Structure 1
């Protein structure tokens, strides 16, 4: 029986060794989503623009919502809201797809020798592509309404990378669990919906009573949303202590997810 290493080095080595396969698979994944549609890949740009307009209308016009002290304009409210939506949509796309990744590729499990651990990586990169397009939409909207973004925008990769590691760990873990526990699909769907309202997507953390704010930082979405708003909209550097802690959490979750996947993958063929 083949033994699969759970060492952190094996995690990095597998991604590096199969980088060309990951690249080709990600390209096929992205293009395949829009195959047969008239607009094709353009939908990846149209969709975030449409969502930005809808959420702006609902929250700033219908509900007359305001951000923080309420001194911002409707366009500023929309830009703040959209930063949170970009990060949440990235999370939702990853975790909602995760439980079905392996079961949707049964042929890779049973009939060919295939590095199954790269399937969650491909799913993550596909989601990151769409998040990047949404970010481009945000930057264009900021340029049009507010002018040049602050140079602190360059901090965004450092803010995002631990979040990407955390998502990769969740993808590995949930994709494995989805093989053995089919109910995980429904559970993940419910939890994702709950997290949308329990995360500072539609409101800042400061809108909560001060004694409860620390609880929101236990939510893995809170640091990346709040720090992204700092560097993208407010022109501030990220909070170093929060960023360092987030990096540590991201690294640990990525490795634990990979280790779980490697330990449980031996039974995939028997279950499927």
Structure 2
């Protein structure tokens, strides 16, 4: 049985594809390096974070002590890819409808697609970062774990969660204009509470269960498990995470459709 939001996406799949293509291509249109920025940006981020945390702060990753700074860089960058995907989607969500207010008056335009385009664009940039990560692993360690092929399933809860949050925040952003500022502050705090720069196991035991309540921590740990450590993902995570993400998408989509009835009056 197909969910309501799935039927909408399938019905508008051609329009969705064109919107995603336009969004991705439009970001680099007119720049001298063009598409090269999608690879250059994560590469520069990797270099800077590696230098600062491994050389300035002398940070090491617990289970990769023998790899030194390279082991730290690989683990940190894997977590950073996940967080950046989430942050890019969530940071833009409150202004999605406001920035495309001309679509609100066009009744036939499916406004719910704006959130899907936002998430799909962020996924594209996350994939380019994954390519950089894989090349870095190949150069530093001489191998790329085959378990990285599990990443599409590992990221299903992440993508579903991002989509659900986009529908919620984009609808709320129309009625509560301050929510964009609140989201920006929350993302800055969340970056340091999501085990991006450290493994969850490095925290005192009393704090580990608390931080484990953050879904991003679980997703980042599972990403490192398959993309860095070469281990299989947790079957329980894949099952529960996917079910919860689908349920969240369905509920948030229905809420968005109800909220959109008042968009024209507010805008």
How many residues are treated as equivalent by the alignment? 266
Superposition TM-score, scaled by structure 1 size: 0.94
Question: 124, 131, 136: which one pairs with 1:136?
Answer: 131
Question: How far, CA to CA, are the matches of 1:148 and 1:162 in structure 2?
Answer: 27
- Give how far 1:112 is off: 5.2
* Aligned match of 1:102: 97
Structure 2: how far apart are the matches of 1:27 and 1:36? 16
Pick the aligned partner of 2:16 from 15, 22, 35.
22
Partner of 1:166: 161
Aligned to 2:199: 204
8 A contact 1:8–1:255 mirrored in 2 = no
Report the Cα distance in structure 2 between the residues aligned to 1:146 and 1:193, rounded to whole angstroms.
32
Q: Provide the secondary structure at the position in 1 that maps to 2:30.
A: coil
Structure 2 SS opposite 1:40: coil
**What secondary structure sits across from 1:152 in the alignment?**
helix
Per the TM alignment, residue 127 of structure 1 is displaced from its structure 2 partner at its CA by: 0.5
Shift of 1:242: 2.8
Equivalent residue in structure 2 for 1:150, among 140, 145, 160: 145
- Closer, same or farther: CA 215–242 of 1 in aligned 2, 3 Å: farther
> What stretches of structure 1 of length at least 5 have no aligned partner?
1-6
TM-superposed CA distance for 1:71, in Å, is 3.6
Determine if contact 2:59/2:69 at 8 Å carries over to the other structure: no
Query: Alignment RMSD, CA only?
Result: 1.4
CA-CA distance at 1:10 after TM superposition: 2.1
Unmatched segments (≥5 aa) in structure 2 = none
User: Aligned partners of 1:59 and 1:75: how far apart in 2?
Assistant: 11
Answer yes or no: is the 8 Å Cα contact 2:4–2:250 preserved in 1.
no
Tell me the distance in 2 between the aligned counterparts of 1:230 and 1:52: 19
2:85 equivalent to 1:123: no
Structure 1 counterpart of 2:47: 53
